[in-house]
Structure 1
Amino acid sequence: MEEIIGRAEELQLLADIKKTPAAELVAVYGRRRVGKTYLIRSFFENELLFEISGLHNASLQEQLENFKDCLSQTVPKHKKKPAIPETWLQAFQQLIRVLQPQIARRKKVIFFDEFPWLDSPRSGFMPAFENFWNSWASRQKNLVVIICGSAASWMIRKIVNNRGGLHNRLTRQIRLLPFSLAETEQFFRAQAIKLDRYQVLQLYMAMGGVPQYLKQVKRGESAIQAIDRICFTKDSYLTNEFSNLYRSLFDNAQHHISIVKALAGKPSGLTRNAIIHTLRLSSGGGITQTLDELTESGFIKSYIPFGKTVKNSIYKLTDEYSLFYLKFIAPNKRPGKGTWIKLFNTASWKSWSGYAFEGICQKHLEQLKAALGISGIHTQESIWRATAPGATRQGAQIDLVIDRNDRCINIFEMKFAASTLVIPRSYRASLLNKQALFIETTGTKKTVFLGFMTTFGVKNAADYAGLIQHQFTMDVLFNAAVALL
């Protein structure tokens, strides 16, 4: 088996599948380039009997010809090769005839990659697949059927929440997320790429934990050099990935892209009504479905403000590559090589990097909870904003509130800096106001702890011992013991 970086929970689940004495129907979904196909092929390299990958925007005839070619590779050399089936019902009957003798004695896997693309309009694919599973495959104790798709929203709607022939038929499901910071660090080590954590963090801020993006980094490059080459040089790997990414996942992707662009322009987030107003959209069901699809695919996330209800949810763009693309790549496509070396450390980058760091901290919440020693305590995470209560006081915003079940609340300041942070005396009044305003406006009776999450720590934290109860460096985000949210 090829080396698989991270993915501890997924590997345990797949290992259980190998041992189960019954048929398995497994759904694997997650965004493009995240490593779904690699995970299945690598883990089941000795059990994989049949594999087909759907063709994007292909006709029924083209899909069936592709099926015939894939099935021909499974048929023993001395057997007659199958003809092109006329329908998907015929195709699955051919598959059964080929599989039947080969799964008699040992566990075998059949793998449908890019499953949503096989279900072309009026093709009859889904009824045929449902019939294949319900009438035959579900009774084969040595058969594992894995269906995989990058269109996460389609997979959720049509497979996980299926109300037809596959209702409650799934035996397992895996939502594969991008690498955490710990897995990203592990990935670079496996590639013999030597980078310290600050460099890894910079790369993560630009392209997230998407394995295929990270694979473009070369040995001996700094983060700045790698980002410049991968994102800004002529025909570079990530220059045109943005439009390809969304259009490969969603029908009518322009609606999804418009929402992503609106959220990129408002790092603090927008409510559903604010998105509708900003884009001048209809308030019908279409916007709800688009937001759900972006959420399920991992590009955006909704946060309920502290003390509010779900109708007050704020949506934020959480995909690092999309944020970086819209802020820096899209406006700077022409300058070419050396662009990022010039942009790096500008005021614009420093402002943006603060928001990017906040987003990464929010994604690595379990790592932060572990550092606080509260992994076993039930918590609710939110954000909080308050307008100025009077002319003499300032408003405030907290981007991470951890409401704990042990009658405590953690509120965090998150600061990205190239060196150890020094808190000026003038900042003390702002921190006191923020904490007091939070307690005052929320009416909480819980103990409120103020903490700092920074790259290299707070140099003069001892001067604020009565105010700052916790301070952590980026190192806690690299904790490999817990999963990414």
Structure 2
Amino acid sequence: MFIGRERELNSLNSLYDSGKFEFVVLYGRRRVGKTELINHFIAQKSAIYFMGVESNAKQNLENFSKSIIEYASGITAETTFASFQVALETVFKLSEKERIILAIDEYPYIARASKSLASTLQLLIDKYKDSSKMMLILCGSSMSYMEDHVLSYKAPLYGRRTAQIKLLPFDFEETCCYFKKYSATDKALAYGIIGGTPQYILQINDKLSIEDNIKNTYLNPSSSLYEEPTNLLKQEVREPAIYTAIITAIATGASRMSEISNKVGEDTNVCSTYLKNLLSLGIIKKETPYGEKASKKSIYSIEDNMFRFWYRFVPENTSLIARGATDLVYKRIEPQLSTYMGKVFEEICKQYLWKLLLTDNSPVFFSSLGRWWGSDPIRKCQAEIDIMGEEDKNTALFAECKWTNEKVDVGVLETLIQRSELFSYSKKHYYLFSKNGFTKGCLERAKEQSNIYCVTHSEIIKKLG
């Protein structure tokens, strides 16, 4: 079942329809669905698909040769072409007569084994780009390799690409397409525990309860997800132990550089390097208070929900899980789920606000959304606003998100209004988001002003899910 990716498919089809030489760089984290996207795109089209393997140049050349021969059976070659240059030039010559897609998947595996491959591609692209009808797709899961050796200014292929697509995990709206049988609450919980990576989403069975899915995936040593985070890190980085320690520190509450450094037991300069790599992998994110470009108040959090859930609950329960104490571990996790879901719900609410903007239903035409935190000099305390979005110096929105079983009371609204007074916007719009609705007093207070919006999670699902 192929779901989503309409924007990426439209981009690829538009490039294909140009009829001229196109060179697309497609990259993204492992399991995000790059190969599935390519296969869906090239179906019913003239295409040569070749996936690199983590082997030597000889093996990859043999496999590439077979892919070419399979496509053009008229070419005479015993088992393999003499070199990658000969093989590639053969395809380029074929593409002078017809539209051909050449999709090279897991390009980093091939390029690492054949050091001259990038320069060879550069040479052939420059030679044939004006006469070729080829659509070349280079795809890779190694984010650092694709960015440093394909996309960067110093890379041989720099300036040759006509498009690049960084494939990201699904958002909440797309993820919900996989969970048709779940209630509004369970859809959010599923997104919170598994995130939007397609390969992980497929591990969730919406015919089973959230509890059973957690037990079957995260609390089952034989499941494919049980060791996935550590295995993925081993594939992407050289020192997975330190990365694991850093992610665990963040997952269990450390958010500032000094806190992470203390928990891990490494110097802040050392941690900084590892954090940058985790940022580039899309596993963590760095936030500053909304409206502040650079700040000592910057904090780190885990971007990927699967990583966030795994590192929050699995490592501390490893011994119990290994002994088969699944029910006991879940009993330890369950009381913490509501708190865990707080940040997930904030992200869902952000996506709802973006949807309003993109469908021309937002009262504020913001260009970004973010969280704000800082000191309240009036009340002499620290304050936080879940979501802020600015249109201009005069107009902004402020939002509070509550994932609790209790209905949101008027006090939450009044606090949000008070905190907005720390900013000098003349036009302010307020959003309250609630898992389980609002008290009568809160709704009555909201009706007094046309700039206050109360939105339940069920209403978000109607818009997004």
Residues 224-276 of structure 1: per-residue CA shift (max 9 Å, x gap): 22222122123012101011122223344445434322321237x43x56545
Task: Identify which of 345, 355, 358 aligns with 2:343.
Answer: 355
Q: CA deviation at 1:94?
A: 1.9
Distance 1:350 1:378 in 2: 29
What are the superposed Cα offsets for residues 284-339 of structure 1, whole Å, 9 maximum, x if unpaired? 5x755544443333222222313423244433211100110011223233235445
2:390 pairs with one of 403, 409, 431: 403
What SS does structure 1 have at the residue aligned with 2:9?
Answer: helix
- 2:316 counterpart (308, 314, 331): 331
TM-score, normalised on structure 2? 0.86
Counterpart residue number, 1:139: 130
Alpha-carbon separation, structure 2, partners of 1:266 and 1:359: 18
Amino acid of the structure 2 residue aligned with 1:172: A
Cα distance in structure 1, aligned partners of 2:245 and 2:66: 39
Structure 2 residue 448 is the aligned partner of structure 1 residue 471:
no
Instruction: Work out the CA distance in 2 between the residues paired with 1:375 and 1:295.
Output: 32
Relative to structure 2, which stretch is displaced further, 451-460 or 19-28?
451-460
Matching residue within 24, 27, 52 for 2:25: 27
Aligned residues: 457
What does 1:272-421 correspond to in 2, within 5 Å?
Answer: 272=257, 275-276=260-261, 278-282=263-267, 290-312=274-296, 313-332=298-317, 333-334=321-322, 335=324, 337-338=326-327, 341-343=330-332, 345-346=334-335, 348-362=336-350, 365-367=353-355, 369=357, 373-374=361-362, 377-387=365-375, 389=377, 393-405=380-392, 407-418=394-405, 421=406
Q: Is the 8 A contact 1:366 1:375 kept in 2?
A: no
Residue 237, structure 1, aligned to residue 224, structure 2: yes
Residue 265 of structure 1 corresponds to 252
Question: Which string of whole-angstrom CA distances, capped at 9 and with x for unpartnered residues, describes residues 109-152 of structure 1?
Answer: 1111112222226733322332233333x234421110111222
Residue equivalent to 2:109:
117
What amino acid is the match of 1:452? Answer: L
Q: Deviations over 1:157-195 (max 9, x none)?
A: 322233343222211111211122221222344xxxx22
Q: Quote the residue 2:152 is aligned against.
A: 161
Provide the identity percentage. Answer: 22
Give the match for residue 5 of structure 1.
Answer: 3
Question: Residue 451 of structure 1 aligns with which residue?
Answer: 431
Shift of 1:281: 4.3
Unaligned runs of 5+ in 1: none
**Compared with structure 1, are the counterparts of its residues 232 and 368 closer, same or farther at alpha carbon in structure 2 (3 Å cutoff)?**
farther
8 Å Cα contact 1:75-1:81 kept in structure 2: no
Q: Is the 8 A contact 2:170 2:197 kept in 1?
A: yes
Q: Looking at both structures, which has the greater relative contact order when contacts are Cα pairs under 8 Å and sequence separation is at least 6?
A: 1
Out of 65, 81, 84, the position equivalent to 1:91 is 84
1:183–1:153 Cα change, 3 Å = same
Within a 5 Å distance, the mapping from 1:176-215 to structure 2 comes to 176-189=167-180, 194-215=181-202
1:221 and 2:208 correspond:
yes
In the TM superposition, residue 16 of structure 1 has moved relative to its aligned partner by: 0.4
Closer/same/farther in 2, CA of residues 59 and 414 from structure 1, 3 Å limit: same
Distance 1:158 1:40 in 2: 21
Query: If the length of structure 1 is used for normalisation, what is the TM-score?
Result: 0.82
Distance 1:423 1:357, change over 3 A: closer
